[in-house]
Structure 1
Amino acid sequence: MLKQRLNENLRSALSICLLSVSLFGSLSDRATAQTSNELTRFSDWCQQKATLNPEARHTVNVLLKEAKTQDCKKAETTLTGLTELFLTSDQIKDLQPLATLTNLKKLDLTNNQITDVQPLSALTNLRSLSLAVNQITDVQPLSTLTNLQSLDLIGNQVSNLTGLSNLKNLETLGLDRNQVHDLKPLATLTTLKELSLSDNQIADLQPLSTLRNLDALVLSSNRIISVQPLSALTNLKLLWLSKNQVSDATPLSTLTNLTFLALDHNQIVEVQPLSTLTKLDMLFLHNNQITNVAPLATLTKLGMLFLNGNRIEQVQPLAALKHLQALILVDNSLRDRTCPVQPASVCAF
């Protein structure tokens, strides 16, 4: 009987203890949330530093180091006067203390540990923002940053671009190494000049057909078969389509302002459509299924031509390319290994 009572008392005490811990945790969370809402100035964050979560405290310390003072008021004066701030590789996780720096026009947060960008929604004066190499999945909070001209999100985990559709002043956008597959939200960003989307899961390029001001477009390492939507982008000077599944280059024949074109590691057989691209200086066609290079003889401004890893038998038609500095022909089916241009050192067989 005594043993049974002891067990019952022990269970009751344990229940009370667990309830107390639960209540304390809940109250603590509420207090933290309330405190965060009350911290409207950097000096508030600084003065309450000891009560903050470790991530927010670390961010405050990084900012104090940037301000070169531990005095909260002096640091606030310095930091709120900044228009540019570079906090790269600082192990930052919590951006809340940054939300008070509303005069910032340029902010670089490359290579940190950021997952939540909500605090940045207050920084509406930003023109340039780099969040490259973080752990971001949700970009919706950035939709308020309508003055942005440059946004770097390279090396994150973004799949949904809807939050970017409102950024109508963007000229440069980097989204390499994410999980993007739907480009529709980008169709409204008609001021874009440079767009980089390599290493994603993109198959449909149709939404890009409206981006007529693009002069540089990077689409390497995706799932692209058709490049038809790109035919309207006649201002393009640089186009990178390496490591896709393109077999028909015909739509690219209209892109006569191109100076750089990368089509390596695709399934191209016919290069006739490229004969119109007479401004090309660099052309990457290695690792395709090309047999006839004669149509490339019109590209007399070429300085570098990569044709390795194809099925080419004759290269003499390339003799017209007098400006070549590098002609790479390794791993082909050449009958004659005579370099078609001089000096012969230009060629690599």
Structure 2
Amino acid sequence: MAWGEAPAQAQAEPYSPPYETFAEWCQSMEKGLLSPQTRHTIEILLLQAGTKDCQAAHVFLSNQTRLRIWMAELYDIAPLSSLTHLREISIRGNRFDDIRPLTNLTHLTTLDVMGNRITDISPLSDLPNLTALNLAYNRITNVDTLSSLTHLSDLDLSNNEIEDFSGLSELTHLTHLSLSHNLAGDFSSLSTLTNLTVLSLTHNSIEDFSSLSTFTNLTKLDLSYSGIQDLSPLSKLTNLEELILGYNEITDISPLSTLTSLIELWMDGNQVSDLRPLSNLENLEYIRLVGNSVTDVSPISNLENLTSLNLIGNQITDLSPLSSMTNLVGLALKGNGITDIRPLSTLINLSSISLDNNQISDVEPLSTLTNLRNLFLTNNQLTTVESLSSLTNLELLVLKENPLSDRTCPLEDDVCLFER
């Protein structure tokens, strides 16, 4: 047995560490009995303990209930098997693939092994007390062995290589579940998880979204880059507060008209033109519709709670419906073909506004917006900006690519940006 380590064991056998206590691991390192990778792990743990003394480190580490080691080049976590008092471990961004040493840590309730090289998660079935588990950014293909972890409430399996989620169907206590960036084509087996409040299914290959209608307790749903076209399964999710639907093929948002609890709506990169279904969603505070086909914003002009509106890259030329939206703090209208910004003069609570890439020649209507801190006017038709001298709270005024007759900043010189 090289370097004094225990021989490799079959996956089916219980993990049996060569040393029971951290002091024994540490003393074996001092005797030169361990591999460089194992020695490195012990050295990291000594740093955590703030001492090079094996016995003192043993006492310190044995009394810890939490351990965090991020991006420390850990290849071997066998020494962690001695830290049996641990309840929470976060060892993300390392290099290990064998998680059998964790099976000794039966008090664990929270485990974060994000960003490692794990393929086999069967050892986790020996940790029945887990309530939170982060396995994101590994190399996992099979999740069937998670079915025994019935106390899990928070599970992140994003960025793996999973095709079949059916092994999760018995985890009925789950409230938070992320399955983004996997290879699944079907998630209907998850319809049993009716306690879910947060669900992410981005970047999969799902064809049928009908089972979404069963998740009526959801407050946050992320379906960006999912290929969804028909939103009708969402109409029953009336507890939704945050909905992310970016970069799909959506044209009709009428099923959203029932989602009266919505606070945030993200729909970048779709083909939405009709905003009328949003007109009754009075709790909306944030709307983001970058790169759609919106021409008329009047359907949302009555949303009094709206504080942030992003309509970059649409086809809006008439801003008059915006004049009543006086609670807006952030407004982005870059790339729309706007010439007349007079309706914006009433939006006195605005802190940031983006008007790049339009056809604006007169910025005098903005002179009333004295709460502005950031103003973006790149690539318009401005010849003068003297009227902006009243905006004394401005911290950034971007004026690139305009035919200005005078490049004198109407405010402090360091506020204005004229060149790239």
Same fold (TM over 0.5): yes
Q: Mark the CA change 1:67 to 1:236 in structure 2 (over 3 Å): closer, same or farther.
A: farther
Contact 2:144 2:168 in 1 (8 A): no
Contact 2:218 2:240 in 1 (8 A): yes
CA distance in 2, matches of 1:115, 1:228: 38
Counterpart of 1:296, as a letter, is L
CA distance in 1, matches of 2:277, 2:183: 31
Contact 1:152 1:173 in 2 (8 A): yes
Shift, 1:138, TM fit: 2.7
Q: Mark the CA change 1:111 to 1:76 in structure 2 (over 3 Å): closer, same or farther.
A: closer
Aligned pair 1:236/2:287, yes or no?
Answer: no
Partner of 1:341: 411
> What do the CA deviations read for 1:151-184 (whole angstroms, capped 9, x no partner)?
1111110000000000010000000011111000
Contact 1:93 1:112 in 2 (8 A): yes
Partner of 2:159: 89
Counterpart of 1:346, as a letter, is V
Shift, 1:263, TM fit: 0.2
Contact 1:93 1:115 in 2 (8 A): yes
Partner of 2:277: 207
Partner of 1:110: 180
Shift, 1:295, TM fit: 0.4
CA distance in 2, matches of 1:271, 1:302: 15
> What do the CA deviations read for 1:80-118 (whole angstroms, capped 9, x no partner)?
111111111111111111111111111111211122121
Partner of 1:37: none
Q: Which runs of 5+ in 1 are unaligned?
A: 1-60
4+ runs deviating over 3 angstroms: 65-70, 72-77
Q: Percent sequence identity over matched residues?
A: 44
Matches within 5 A, 1:21-170: 64=122, 66-67=124-125, 76-77=147-148, 79-170=149-240
Q: For 2:177, what is the secondary structure of its paired residue?
A: strand
CA distance in 2, matches of 1:186, 1:179: 15
CA distance in 2, matches of 1:156, 1:259: 31
**Larger RCO, structures 1/2 (Cα 8 Å, 6+ apart):** 1
CA distance in 1, matches of 2:244, 2:124: 27
Shift, 1:76, TM fit: 4.7
Shift, 1:135, TM fit: 2.2
CA distance in 2, matches of 1:279, 1:252: 13
Q: For 1:210, what is the secondary structure of its paired residue?
A: coil
Q: Mark the CA change 1:348 to 1:146 in structure 2 (over 3 Å): closer, same or farther.
A: same
CA distance in 1, matches of 2:332, 2:340: 15
Aligned pair 1:316/2:316, yes or no?
Answer: no
> What do the CA deviations read for 1:29-82 (whole angstroms, capped 9, x no partner)?
xxxxxxxxxxxxxxxxxxxxxxxxxxxxxxxx7653554669x999654x1111
Q: Give the TM-score taking structure 2 as reference length.
A: 0.66
Shift, 1:252, TM fit: 1.1
Aligned pair 1:289/2:347, yes or no?
Answer: no
CA distance in 2, matches of 1:289, 1:65: 62
* Aligned alpha-carbon RMSD (Å): 1.9
Partner of 2:335: 265
Aligned pair 1:216/2:286, yes or no?
Answer: yes
CA distance in 2, matches of 1:74, 1:335: 70
CA distance in 1, matches of 2:224, 2:125: 28
Q: Give the TM-score taking structure 1 as reference length.
A: 0.79
Shift, 1:137, TM fit: 3.6
Structure (1/2) with the larger helix percentage = 1
Aligned pair 1:305/2:363, yes or no?
Answer: no
CA distance in 2, matches of 1:194, 1:166: 17
Contact 2:122 2:145 in 1 (8 A): no
Match of 1:198 among 264, 268, 274: 268
CA distance in 2, matches of 1:210, 1:110: 31
Q: Which runs of 5+ in 2 are unaligned?
A: 1-118, 129-142
